[in-house]
Amino acid sequence: MKLKEWILEQLEKNDFDNLKVYELYDEYVKKSNSDFFEGNKKKLLKRNSYERLVRSCNNYTEKVNRKPADLPDDVDIKTEIVQDENGIKIIGSSRQIKTKEDLIKECKIDIDNYIEISHKANTWNSFYKSTETGEAKIVQLFQQELRLKPKVIEESQIGFIKPIQVDFEYKNPVKTKTDELQKVIIMADAQIGYLRNFQTNEMTPMQCEDSLNLALKICESEQPDKIILAGDMLDLTEASSYEQKKEFVETTQESINRLGKYLVNLREICPNSYIALQEGNHSKRLQKSINNNVSWASNLKPFGSDYEIFDLRFLLNLDKMGIEYFPNYPNNPIWLNDNLKVVHGNIARAGAGATSKAYLDSNMVSVISAHVHRMEILNKTYEDRFGVYDVTSCTIGCLCRNDGVVPSKNGGSENWQKGICKVLIHGEDFQIDNIAFKNNKAFIDNKVFFI
């Protein structure tokens, strides 16, 4: 048996006094070839072998004196969770975490949401001194390291974005009134999307669910003749050309599913309304990403379909719900009459009223726009040889969160207002009202709506 091993074995059986190391050394010399040790003692001391042995053994004794072995089992449990672009790494060191199952339980990880990438296990002995008997104890410690990748639920297979399923087909023809008072509800910029927590696999929504539900309540009560979804109901962060974060990964399908369910609800509560969905700058991200990165797939169509596989008309099953889609942003206006059009918009100016003023300066007709998430209404009177007429520019609110969850240039809470727009049209005349959502309440005429 080697000198160090023998001394450590003796230390287990004796009180831990640092001077004991020296005594044990001498005892070992007596029991071994004393002539050899005496003859080589100068060499050993010269190479500091003996001193290194003493320091090594002393380290063990100091460690024992610092941490008793009979502490409660959970005192020495150490866990760490590291999240990166490949998933999560969880590490646990303890007397109790002996298996990866113990590690998963200790870290409270729902393993059903993950795929195991790798697993490493280590074990070693450590020396401790009992607080009751003062005797040395050898304690076996364990370390588990587990790498996990979030599972993608069946309907969210990355690379295979699936269209939503609609259980009904809208068949009632839409009756467009031309000479009667028409009521129009316009909503936009829900920016439906999610941030994925790779530890829990939970999804944090970018859309304001309360605002979406409040808009549904209003539509159900008002039963408008027309409902215009004026762009960017989807955020499509994962397809953005901006810097990607790991929280965006594998969130596109969830976003499409959420908007699909919302449109189904909208159609069910407003069966006789004309519904239109405009493409916006965020909505265009998906097709742009395909064109730029997987161009060979940009024109693929399912057999028997009129639409490419990444066309929102196909993914959202819009035809089956009787929803008309207006692509080709930014050149896709919806005309409510000859004097008023709805656009998603591609103008954004800083300062109150600046965006609306920019539309007034560049249009000879009235414009309702989205895009900036701010509520503004400006009017201007023109005069020409044919007479005097008024032009209105209105920017409507949003249905997304404004607390910093939605990625933006400022990276925090934004000067965005939640709400929708209500328009009354009679022939070539109209009245525009921005309906603000404050504290999840909205006031229309003599009615109050709330969540």
Q: Residue 397: helix, strand or coil by DSSP?
A: coil
Query: How far is residue 38's CA from residue 318's CA, in Å, rounded to a whole number?
Result: 95
**Beta strand ranges found along 284-364 (DSSP E):** 323-326, 334-337, 340-343
Q: Residue 148: helix, strand or coil by DSSP?
A: strand
Each domain of the chain, given as residue ranges in start order, spans 3-63, 78-150, 154-450
Q: Nearest CA to 349 among 367, 373, 380?
A: 373
Tokens encoding 50? 């003996």
Share of the chain above pLDDT 70, in %: 74
Q: Residue 220: helix, strand or coil by DSSP?
A: helix
Query: How far is residue 415's CA from residue 403's CA, in Å, rounded to a whole number?
Result: 10
Q: What is the pLDDT of residue 155?
A: 37
Chain centroid, CA 288 distance in Å: 22
Q: How confident is the model at residue 180 (pLDDT cuts 50, 70, 90)?
A: confident
Q: What is the pLDDT of residue 47?
A: 45
For the ranges 56-65, 103-112, 412-421, the maximum mean pLDDT occurs at 412-421
Whether residue 37 has pLDDT greater than 80: no
Helix axes 209-222, 252-269, angle to 10 degrees: 20
Sequence-separated (6 or more) residues with CB below 8 Å from residue 379: 390, 391, 392, 393
Question: Hey, what CATH class is 154-450 in?
Answer: alpha beta
- Output the average pLDDT for the chain: 81
Q: What is the pLDDT of residue 66?
A: 47
Q: How confident is the model at residue 71 (pLDDT cuts 50, 70, 90)?
A: very low
**pTM for the full model?**
0.66
Q: What is the pLDDT of residue 43?
A: 47
pLDDT tens digits for range 77-96: 777 777 766 677 888 887 77
Query: How far is residue 343's CA from residue 341's CA, in Å, rounded to a whole number?
Result: 7
Q: What is the pLDDT of residue 67?
A: 46
Position with higher pLDDT, 382 vs 395: 395
Q: What is the pLDDT of residue 333?
A: 96
Q: How confident is the model at residue 32 (pLDDT cuts 50, 70, 90)?
A: low
pLDDT tens digits for range 402-427: 998 998 877 777 899 999 999 999 99
Q: Nearest CA to 441 among 241, 283, 139, 217?
A: 217
